[in-house]
Amino acid sequence: MNSWKDHIAIMHLVKQELLKRDRDQLWPHHLPEVGATEEQLQAAEKALGIPLDPQYREFLMHADGWRGFLQTVDLFGTGQLTRSGVMDDAMELLDSIEPDVLEGSGFAKVDLLPIASTASDKDLFVIALEGSPSPGTVIWFAGEEIDRFGSFEEYFLAMIDYNREEVMDLGSE
């Protein structure tokens, strides 16, 4: 596995290029949050009553969330995971997924933890918990399953690519 510092640096560079090209200010542009402390991570795990996925946890040590990670989607940090209306809203999105869509995913709601969402649409990213059919899998729902990633790292790298596509869609300077 490559370093999270490298992955974050690459995403930051892509996001900087996106900022340059986003002349109409379509999307929010933010830096990642400062990494979580071990105490914050442990507090989040205690509040959730579950251990965080190891890759997601390691990412949080380097960046405790990222607003505007993909368009208006925010990648949750420890604060959003445990003590915010953001998680309440994400849980409502999870609850609103049609039963046949959820069944088709191969997971039950109790197997999934929201890790990213947006207030402006129905995009929701969830990670499969320990004890689920495929722990660590990240699924993107938006009324239906949009994409699936085998691990948090795979998800992160794919989001870099989705942001690169957005850069290309906005054209050159």
In CATH, what number is assigned to the domain containing residue 112? 3.40.1580.10
The helix or strand, by DSSP H or E, that contains position 70, with its residue range, turns out to be strand 66-70
Domain count, the chain: 1
Query: What integer best gives the mean pLDDT of the chain?
Result: 93
Q: Is the residue at 51 inside a domain? A: yes
Q: Which domain holds residue 47?
A: 4-168
Residue 86 has pLDDT above 70, yes or no: yes
Residue 99 has pLDDT above 90, yes or no: yes
66-70, strands of its sheet edge to edge: 66-70, 73-75, 112-117, 124-128, 138-141, 145-149
Q: Is the residue at 39 inside a domain? A: yes
Q: Is the residue at 173 inside a domain? A: no
Q: Which DSSP category does 91 fall into?
A: H
pLDDT value at residue 172: 58
107-163, pLDDT tens digit by residue?
Answer: 999 999 999 999 889 999 999 999 999 999 999 999 999 999 999 999 999 999 999
Count CB atoms within 10 A of the CB of residue 129: 19
Of the two residues 21 and 139, the one the predictor is more confident about is 139
